[in-house]
Amino acid sequence: MGSFRRDKDDEDEGTTNIYQHLEKTSVLQETRTFNDTPVNPRKCIQILTKILYLINQGEQLVAREATDCFFAMTKLFQSKDVVLRRMVYLGIKELSSIAEDVIIVTSSLTKDMTGKEDLYRPSAIRALCSITDNTMLQAVERYMKQCIVDKNPAVSCAALVSSLRLASTAGDVVKRWANEAQEALNSDNIMVQYHALGLLYHIRKSDRLAVSKLVNKLTRNSMKSPYAVCMLIRIACKLIEEEDTSAEDMPTSPMFTFIESCLRHKSEMVIYEAAHAIVNLKNTNARVLSPAFSILQLFCSSPKATLRFAAVRTLNKVALIHTAAVTTCNLDLEGLITDSNRSVATLAITTLLKTGAESSVERLMKQISTFVAEISDEFKVVVVQAICALCSKYPRKHTVLMNFLSGMLREEGGLEYKTSIVDTIITIIEENAEAKESGLSHLCEFIEDCEHVSLAVRILHLLGKEGPFANTPSKYIRFIYNRVILESPIVRAAAVTALAQFGASCPALMDNILVLLSRCQMDPDDEVRDRATYYLHLLQSNKADLYKHYIIERETCSLTLLEKALTEHLNGDLTTSFDLSIVPKTAIVKEEVPNEAMLISNAPRAPKITREEESAARLSQLPGVQVLGPIHRTTPSIQLTESETEYTVQCIKHIFANHVVFQFDCLNTLPDQILENVRVELTLPEGFRTLAVIPCPKLPYNDLQMTYVIVEFPGDIVSSAATFGATLRFVVKDCDPNTGEPDSDNGYEEEYMLEDLDITVADQIQKSKKSNFQAAWDSADTEEWIEAEDTYSLAAITTLQNAVSLILKFLGLGPANLSEKVPEGTHTHTLLCSGTFRGGVEVLVRAKLALADGVTMQLTVRSTDSGVAELVSSAIG
């Protein structure tokens, strides 16, 4: 134990990280010390610490380096130093996945695992299980069973947790340890009991009846471990959700009775877990929820910061689902605004903003104005998001909220914080036409002193899109041209584009814009000069069509797919010109906005990509797909089987201009079978034609594989919305569950019926958003556009909001506003939406809705194709 001692010189070094300048090569050379006789424990511990530090910092060891290091490490088993031995176990665990022939230490680890030194045994078990595979596990199975029921809690816990990890790779072997896990469940140690329950549930989770019996048995006996009771609550909740128990039957459910009884448990952890579980159940009513919310309200005034945080975070999460119940806690939440814990205060504010009444908006803004100045940018972002949600809920309060946001925008802050405010203001502008003028004015003032290039470019883009259609467009020109004079080349280029949009959309400002663009032709930056020249020539042509397609409504390409297409073009025949039309026009995907999870996680957010981008690389490898052209749309996956069946199949539809590629994701859940030549046979409606079936050669157990069917659409567009029958066909071969090898080369043909699948109108339409829908609608009132109109009575729909959601769902169109929300208390509403049908056919829709004994709708569709207009107009009926 002398290895724990520190010299006085070590203490004087302070908190400096002595490992930060390590080099892998020199550390690996130091491992030669492991061969010294006698072993120097202190020196070897330092070297092992360096190795573990390098691995955990992301340093990559090649197999040869890891193997040499591993074998050198095995020499340290001759030392009896306890700390060194435990460091060796850690090293074995870290290197086991990289080094070769690691099974050489099996006997040494087995000896330590079954020895009398209790300090060795838990770590030896963990290390042994990390190097054990399916073939070796049976050799140590007897020892593992003994360790699970060992009297030493540390040994028993190590064995249980290791068994749980082994269950993912050797589930059939671990299942045989259920009796030992059941015995460990009766332990007096709270951690042993908790881990034993976890292992038992994992073994039985595929058998719903067995899980139900386990829960019923344990709920009748009070468990000593609060951790185990918390897990039992979660398992009980899952069973309630699977049973789909109604709110009326909930109080009589044995599972719910147990959860409710846990609200009176002596452990605060269990009480919170029970309250959290109840408020997150799907089918509930006020009677069921009331005790849980009373507990959360009580925790809000707890002297313990952890309980306050847990309670307010749960209330925040369900605030929009159970608004009335959370509102009863508002007084307690207002008291938490000044809480010393900033996380608690921020969650309290955002919860109040979610549940606050319209009349209390001004009071809430005053309360949080002083608080916001004291918190970090991460918490400010969460507050800004809550304000955005509040403005969507109460659009008439946009003036108060916008002024508050503009004040925050003028304060000091980082890029992420300022971006969240700008995003919120833009969202308010797009959702609320009345807020456009004030919102654009606030943003104009911000870019006068904006140090973030990306934000300046976004705001200039917004000004170019919305500014020309404001009441007085000319007032924005000064702000935009100031950017041309004062800013960096990237911002100047964005300002030139914004000026061109004003010129194309506002004939009265054309002469002034031409003068400004001609001045931009003398800019020192190539990009700025090229843009100015390009737009100047377009505007001087006086052709409205050129304005529309190249300035006002520029189509958005997928940048990822554009880069891929350009790379392929450069690697191919350069004698032909690049065709931009081959690049899919994908819907814009907004970046995921950070939320309350920021308070507990600092993990980086991965950028979102469109489904089309995700599918393009995979489909490009399939024979015959390249000739179909660019992907128009990729639909979300739909389930064609029940999730518990022996074979599960999901379908994704990739829509092209004249074809559809059905992608079937197949999963075999039977360990004693291997499937070959797996394909899906479709029953085609009239007019459709199968071009190719691409089978999956082999489908092993628990391995997701794909099979494809390429189908051509009928020439008649009206017939393109249809239903397909589907049958899964394959060859079955029996196999060894442990090795996955087939018992023989002979198999037999089998088929499995799948649910029918549909191609709908929405599948064939890509959402779009017109910068000015009214202008686009008016310009479509020509002979080139076809108009179809019909009136529908939606008797089953009781609210205008439900009618709007239904229309957008069935038609697959994008609303003119960012989020089409119907103001409360209105009886009439006009829904404006647009999209692009496969093949590049534009679709504009205007739906006039009136509420009276159901919803009456007058649907008007304008499209450049008569078949598309007829198909879309009939989709609702």
What pLDDT, on the 0 to 100 scale, is given for residue 855?
86
- Compute the distance between CA of residue 740 and CA of residue 674 in angstroms, rounded to an integer: 7
Residues 6+ apart with CB under 8 A from 232: 197, 215, 218, 219, 223, 258
First-residue to last-residue Cα distance in the chain: 80
Does residue 844 contact residue 861 with C-beta atoms inside 8 Å?
Answer: yes
Angle at 168 between CA 167 and CA 170, to 5 degrees: 60
String of DSSP letters for 181-240:
HHHHTT-SSHHHHHHHHHHHHHHHTT-HHHHHHHHHHHHHS--S-HHHHHHHHHHHHHHH
What pLDDT, on the 0 to 100 scale, is given for residue 724?
93
CATH topology of domain 765-875: TATA-Binding Protein (3.30.310)
- Per-block average pLDDT, block size 10, for the chain (877 residues)? 47 63 85 86 90 87 87 86 88 84 82 82 86 77 87 90 85 84 88 91 85 87 88 90 76 85 90 91 82 89 90 87 84 83 84 78 76 75 80 78 83 84 86 83 87 88 87 88 86 91 88 90 90 90 79 70 78 78 55 42 48 68 78 88 86 90 90 89 91 90 89 90 92 82 83 91 86 78 85 83 86 76 77 87 89 86 90 82
What pLDDT, on the 0 to 100 scale, is given for residue 652?
92
What pLDDT, on the 0 to 100 scale, is given for residue 578?
79
- Compute the distance between CA of residue 541 and CA of residue 536 in angstroms, rounded to an integer: 9
Determine the distance from the C-alpha atom of residue 847 to the mean position of all C-alpha atoms in its chain, rounded to a whole number. Answer: 33
- Compute the distance between CA of residue 638 and CA of residue 759 in angstroms, rounded to an integer: 12
For residue 481, give the amino acid letter.
Y
Query: Domain extents for the chain?
Result: 25-198, 452-554, 557-587, 612-759, 765-875
- Helix axis angle, 559-570 relative to 611-619, nearest 10°? 30
Residue 61 three-state SS = coil
DSSP state of 785: S
CB-based burial of residue 378 (10 Å sphere; 0-12 exposed, 13-18 middle, 19+ buried)? middle
What pLDDT, on the 0 to 100 scale, is given for residue 725?
92
pLDDT, tens only, 681-707: 999 998 899 999 999 999 888 888 999
Return the closest-CA partner of residue 499 out of 490, 489, 509: 509
What pLDDT, on the 0 to 100 scale, is given for residue 556?
65
- Compute the distance between CA of residue 336 and CA of residue 349 in angstroms, rounded to an integer: 8
- Compute the distance between CA of residue 463 and CA of residue 498 in angstroms, rounded to an integer: 7
Assigned token pair, 84: 């060194």
How many CB atoms neighbour CB 715 within 10 A? 10
What pLDDT, on the 0 to 100 scale, is given for residue 326?
85
Reported pTM:
0.63
Tell which CATH classification among 3.30.1380.10, 3.40.47.10, 2.60.40.1480, 2.60.40.1080 matches the domain 612-759.
Answer: 2.60.40.1480
What pLDDT, on the 0 to 100 scale, is given for residue 819?
57
For 533-549, give the secondary structure using H, E and C: HHHHHHHHCCCHHHHHH
Assigned token pair, 123: 């770590």
For 591-629, give the secondary structure using H, E and C: CCCCCHHHHCCCCCCCCCCCHHHHHHHHHCCCCCCHHHC
For residue 775, give the amino acid letter.
A
C-alpha torsion 190→193→198→204, nearest 10 = -160
Identify the architecture of domain 25-198 in CATH.
Alpha Horseshoe (1.25)
